[in-house]
């Protein structure tokens, strides 16, 4: 995984709390990315590419809710299935 995969850019913090908060978020993101890679056996870049299009939208029109859900590709379904914990 590289900064390019995460679309990272330089961030400049000047206060200790901001620096520590930023590092906490970065380390949490790294832990999640590693978990995803180890659980699925797929690179983070491929996971993002497969799951990014999966968005749904809910439209509220005159009190009626209309929900449009995406088509889940076989690759996305495989990734999501491998991430499910047993019993869910």
> What's the pLDDT score for residue 48?
92
Per-residue pLDDT band at 75 (split at 50, 70, 90):
very high
Specify if 9 maps to a domain: yes
> What's the pLDDT score for residue 87?
59
Specify if 26 maps to a domain: yes
Domain of residue 16, residue span: 3-83
Asked if 7 and 45 count as a contact pair (C-beta separation under 8 A), the reply is: no
> What's the pLDDT score for residue 12?
82
Specify if 79 maps to a domain: yes
Specify if 88 maps to a domain: no
Instruction: Provide the domain count of the chain.
Output: 1
Average pLDDT over residues 7-35: 87
Rg (C-alpha) for the chain, rounded Å, is 18
pTM above 0.85, yes or no: no
Specify if 39 maps to a domain: yes
| Tokens matching residue 52 | 């990014």
The answer, yes or no, to whether residue 85 has pLDDT greater than 80, is no
The answer, yes or no, to whether residue 42 has pLDDT greater than 60, is yes
């Amino acid at each position: 995984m590289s900064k390019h995969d995460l679309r990272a850019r330089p961030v400049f913090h000047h206060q200790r709390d901001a620096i520590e908060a930023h590092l906490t978020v970065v380390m949490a993101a790294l832990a999640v990315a590693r978990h995803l890679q180890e659980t699925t056996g797929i690179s983070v870049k491929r996971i993002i590419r497969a799951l990014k299009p999966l968005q749904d939208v809910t439209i509220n029109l005159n009190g009626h809710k209309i929900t449009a859900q995406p088509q889940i590709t076989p690759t996305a379904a495989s990734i999501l299935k491998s991430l499910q914990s047993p019993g869910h």
